[in-house]
Amino acid sequence: MEIRQIELEVMRYDPEKDKQPWFQQYTVPCQEDWAILDALNYVKDNLDTTLAYRWSCHMMVCGSCGMMVNGEPSLTCKTFVRDLPGKVRVEPLENFPIERDLVVVLDDVMQKLHKVQPYIIRKDDPPPEGVEYTQSRGALAKFKQLTMCINCMCCYSACPQYGLDNNFIGPAALALAHRYNLDSRDQGKSQRLDILADHDGVWDCSFVGACSEVCPKHVDPAAAIQQMKIDGALEFWKQKLGFPGGES
């Protein structure tokens, strides 16, 4: 297999020593089929054991290997060295505080994911004995794409609104809320509306669409948010005009 040398420029930050992050260069002999994550693993195994970064599955499932690769939020396990120039800059995901080296602090988004009540809410909870909530395939198709999210947070890293003001609930959490709003078994839409239609909710999004462009799982959070805006506006007028609240 062919070996190609690349210059890896990695952002380093040691909270105990460094006042600010700095860049360290590594020369990495890469195999043809390597992803950036393989190059980082090579550094860790052979050149510098102190480098900190997150990963687990190496197959686009766990969502933990998100980093900036040449300025673009990417899953490093699916970003291949052969598609990149000879010099590659790797930084921790933008818009998040840096814990150490390439590891970021995700507490804020974890809270947000929780805040949108991402579970099925029913009026008849617990369900009556022997009752099953069934769902047709068509009803599943409505939101299936939104269930593909792996919480890699690349979208938050691309979102300029979240970067400027992290009170914004942000793309993945809003898409997650929409996933439950669209679920035919759920009855919690009006409960979620308070959070979503608040000023830190959907209306903060200016439809830059950056989140959808970088999403490795094609969840398309930007589209979900625009649908929620339409939903929210309809709901608002329904309530204003005294129609019974549209529950789905």
Q: Rule CB under 6 A: which of 51-70 touch ligand SF4? A: none
Residue 102 sits in the site that holds ligand FES (CB under 6 A): no
Contact window for ligand SF4 (CB under 6 A) among 124-132, 181-189, 193-201, 219-227: 219-227
Q: Rule CB under 8 A: which of 41-70 touch other proteins? A: none
Pairwise CA distance, residues 129 & 222, whole Å: 40
108's contact among ligand FES, ligand SF4, other proteins, none, with CB below 5 to 8 A by partner kind, is none
Helices 171-181, 221-240: axis angle to 10 degrees equals 60
Residue 49 sits in the site that holds ligand SF4 (CB under 6 A): no
Q: Give the position of tokens 């709003």.
A: 181
Q: Rule CB under 8 A: which of 67-106 touch other proteins? A: 71-72, 94-95, 97-99, 105
Pairwise CA distance, residues 26 & 42, whole Å: 10
Residue 44 sits in the site that holds ligand FES (CB under 6 A): no
Residue 142 sits in the site that holds ligand FES (CB under 6 A): no
163's contact among ligand FES, ligand SF4, other proteins, none, with CB below 5 to 8 A by partner kind, is other proteins
Burial tier of 119 (Cβ tally within 10 Å: 0-12, 13-18, 19+): exposed
Residue 52 sits in the site that holds ligand FES (CB under 6 A): no
Q: Rule CB under 6 A: which of 59-98 touch ligand FES? A: 60-65, 75, 77
Residue 221 sits in the site that holds ligand SF4 (CB under 6 A): yes
Do residues 235 and 190 lie in contact, with contact meaning Cβ atoms separated by under 8 Å? Answer: yes
Instruction: Among 65, 68, 102, 153, indicate the residue that binds ligand SF4 (CB under 6 A).
Output: 153
Q: What is the DSSP string of 130-146?
A: T------HHHHHTTGGG
Residue 210 sits in the site that holds ligand SF4 (CB under 6 A): yes
The distance of closest approach from Cβ of residue 232 to other proteins in the complex, given in angstroms and rounded to an integer, is: 12
Q: Give the position of tokens 């818009």.
A: 95
**CA 85 → CA 69, 166, 191, 230, distances in Å?**
11, 33, 49, 42
Do residues 95 and 14 lie in contact, with contact meaning Cβ atoms separated by under 8 Å? Answer: no
The distance of closest approach from Cβ of residue 202 to ligand FES in the complex, given in angstroms and rounded to an integer, is: 27
The distance of closest approach from Cβ of residue 41 to other proteins in the complex, given in angstroms and rounded to an integer, is: 24
Do residues 204 and 48 lie in contact, with contact meaning Cβ atoms separated by under 8 Å? Answer: no
- CA 53, 58, 61: angle at the middle one, nearest 5? 105
Residue 13 sits in the site that holds other proteins (CB under 8 A): yes
Query: Site residues (CB under 6 A) for ligand FES?
Result: 55-58, 60-65, 75, 77
